Amino acid sequence: TSAGSWDAVLAEPARSALERSLPRFLVRQRWFGAKGRKISTVSIADTIRVPDAERDGLQGLVTLVDVTFTEGEPATYAIPLAGTRDGEDIGLEYVVARVETRDGVWLLVDGLRDTALAVALLEMIERRRVARAQRHRLVGTRAEGFVRLRGEGALEPQFSWGDQSNTSVTFGDRLVLKLFRRIEEGINPELEVGRFLTDRTVSRHAAPTAGAIELPDGGGGSTVAILQGYVQNEGDAWAYSLDAIQESFERALALPADQPIPRVERSLMDMVGELPSLLTYDLIGPFLGSAWLLGRRTAQLHLALGSRADDPVFAPEPITRMYQRSLYQSMRSQAVTTLRRLAVHEVGPEVEELLARQDELFARFAVVTGEKISGQRIRVHGDYHLGQVLWTGRDFIVIDFEGEPARPLSERRIKRSPLRDVAGMLRSFDYATRTAMRSPWVEDLSTEEKASLADWAQSWSHWVSATFLDHYFEVAGDSPLLPQTEEETRRMLHALLLDKAVYEIAYELDNRPDWLPVPVRGVLDLLDEGP
């Protein structure tokens, strides 16, 4: 209950009640990245009123919320807030609190579902405005190409309703505002890499950066939001791939009874540079050409990111023995922690097999500490998979350069082998086929049909991955960025594939426990296949 208007809930005594209700709101949000940890306290660190974000005479704002946990480091989240009249059409998951005031009942809601606040945040960037609070400032900045990207006329916000680790608002077909929910000290890689690619126009295959909202306070400041040019698209490459896989499955099931489905008996790297059979071509269909194009676009992206030796933040650095040892330690540490959590959370034959083979897993990681590995480290995408690529109908555009959200921001800015991104995409192809195998219509098939499709799913993933790799190496293979021998490439890529699959287990433990069989089986298959 508030004695004044809805925003008076941010003052005592109502403020304490609001803080007590925030944990229930946070754990319902897709963007809250600590679902696997128990919240201890939530406190409102600051409230920043956004210029011109008025509705019914009341001003929208951005709250910075400090969250502590029973274990581990605290975190700060940005929660824009706005008030709507009780009874207005908004999803309950976006309601923070119900507030009774002298002028009626209000709902305190996530502000990135409020038109006035969304437009005001865009105008902060366009007009380079500053919003001040007791402890912090929000500062809007815009890129050189802002006017061209914005275009003419009013822009109406359209709100995203899908699952995301952040929150995006689209303004017509011109701009996309992306709010980073977790606020960490330092520039977000999404903004840093986006500015690099946009300002130098070294890559035409990434969404252009139009501006940002930042918190300049503290040592290095923090990134709150980034504004990008809208990319006309037909959806992300994940959805495009799932459609292609379903069509391929249907073609495979339609084969005559005396026509066996092609099977793969070799490791992935052994298939690079080879041509699939005509039957395999027919069963996969046009997506082989898409894998070819995506491999080239990925190589072009890496060449662009490694193109500026005069910029210390982006200049390529050699892979050293010290880096190889630190890479192994990072892989092993993540695996130890993840397998310990897995043993407590989940039991079953595949999990038991993986736990029994953990020494084998560590030995596969250790190959990166053997002989010297050539190549260079650069800034990479960091969380590269089919969901981070848009399909325009003719080409691919890469988005979301913030890196794996579960890792600290400082770790996401470290220079790495470009093969880390390659491994992410290869794992994504595998995830897509395993996701398709979980489709309801596949579950309804006979045991024999499902077994045949499982064989074909593996073949689809291997041939698409081999095609992707073939054309990635065709474009980037002579670059000093990559290991200079096939043996080095095999060692590094296989270890990175295993590392990515272990990361996926940790992710699913936190977000989708029912999906755990997918990455667990992925690790086991990689161990069986070998480099």
pLDDT tens digits, one per residue of 346-381: 778 999 999 999 999 999 999 999 889 999 999 999
Checking if the pLDDT of 462 tops 80, the result is: yes
Higher pLDDT, 449 or 57: 449
pLDDT of amino acid 59: 67
pLDDT of amino acid 530: 77
pLDDT of amino acid 246: 96
Q: What is the pLDDT of residues 193-224, one digit of tens each?
A: 999 998 765 567 888 999 999 998 765 689 99
* DSSP calls for 113-147: G-HHHHHHHHHHHHTT-EEE-SS-EEEEEE-TTHH
Residue entry with tokens 């008025």: 54
pLDDT of amino acid 80: 93
In this structure, what DSSP letter does residue 378 have? B
Q: What is the pLDDT of residues 247-293, one digit of tens each?
A: 999 999 999 988 888 888 888 889 999 999 999 999 999 999 999 99
In this structure, what DSSP letter does residue 94 have? G
Checking if the pLDDT of 305 tops 70, the result is: yes
Q: 359 CB contacts (<8 Å, ≥6 apart)?
A: none
Dihedral sign from CA coordinates of 285, 383, 423, 451: negative
In this structure, what DSSP letter does residue 398 have? E
Residue 247 near residue 215 (C-beta atoms within 8 A): no
Sequence letter at residue 404? E
Q: 486 CB contacts (<8 Å, ≥6 apart)?
A: 269
Q: How far is CA 407 from CA 383, 403, 426, in A?
A: 10, 8, 20
What is the longest distance spanned by two Cα atoms in the chain?
78
pLDDT of amino acid 405: 78
pLDDT of amino acid 456: 94
Tokens of 195: 């500015």
pLDDT of amino acid 399: 92
For residue 162, name the pLDDT band (cuts at 50, 70, 90).
Answer: low
pLDDT of amino acid 139: 94
pLDDT of amino acid 111: 87
Q: What percentage of the chain carries pLDDT values higher than 90? A: 63
Q: How far is CA 531 from CA 157, 275, 374, 462, 488, in A?
A: 48, 20, 17, 13, 10
Pairing type for strands 182-183 and 209-215 reads unpaired
Checking if the pLDDT of 529 tops 70, the result is: yes
Tokens of 342: 């897995």
Q: Is 273 left (phi over 0), alpha (psi -120 to 50) or beta?
A: left
Higher pLDDT, 93 or 191: 191
- Three-state secondary-structure class, residue 102: coil
pLDDT of amino acid 404: 83
- Alpha-carbon distance of 528 to 531, in angstroms, equals 9
Tokens of 200: 């130098």
pLDDT of amino acid 277: 92
pLDDT of amino acid 3: 52
pTM of the shown model = 0.89
- Phi, psi values for residue 322, rounded to 5°: -65, -40
Residue 368 near residue 328 (C-beta atoms within 8 A): yes
Burial of 514 from C-beta contacts in 10 A (0-12 / 13-18 / 19+):
exposed
Higher pLDDT, 472 or 114: 472
Sequence letter at residue 71? E
Average pLDDT of the residues in 143-171: 85
Contacts 24+ apart (CB under 8 A), 352-358: 353/524, 354/520, 354/523, 354/524, 357/524, 357/527
Q: What is the pLDDT of residues 495-527, one digit of tens each?
A: 999 999 999 999 898 888 889 999 999 999 999
pLDDT of amino acid 433: 96
Tokens of 494: 């296989």
Checking if the pLDDT of 167 tops 80, the result is: yes
* DSSP calls for 424-488: HHHHHHHHHHHHHHTSHHHHTS-HHHHHHHHHHHHHHHHHHHHHHHHHHHHHHTTSTTS-SSHHH
Q: What is the pLDDT of residues 413-444, one digit of tens each?
A: 999 999 999 999 999 999 999 999 999 999 88
- Three-state secondary-structure class, residue 175: strand
pLDDT of amino acid 44: 93
pLDDT of amino acid 161: 62
* DSSP calls for 197-257: HHHTT--SSBPPEEEEEEE--SSS-EEEEEEEE----SSBHHHHHHHHHHHHHHHHHTS-T
- Phi, psi values for residue 63, rounded to 5°: -100, 140
For residue 136, name the pLDDT band (cuts at 50, 70, 90).
Answer: confident
Residue 455 near residue 280 (C-beta atoms within 8 A): no
pLDDT of amino acid 203: 61
Which among 333, 407, 340 is positioned nearest to 365, based on CA atoms?
A: 333
Mean of the per-residue pLDDT values for the chain? 89
Q: What is the pLDDT of residues 86-123, one digit of tens each?
A: 666 677 778 888 887 777 778 888 888 888 899 999 99
- Alpha-carbon distance of 14 to 67, in angstroms, equals 19
Tokens of 502: 């272990």
Tokens of 420: 């880390």
Checking if the pLDDT of 55 tops 70, the result is: no
Higher pLDDT, 96 or 301: 301
Pairing type for strands 157-159 and 175-179 reads unpaired
Tokens of 201: 């126009």
* Angle formed at CA 113 by CA 112 and CA 116, multiple of 5 degrees: 80
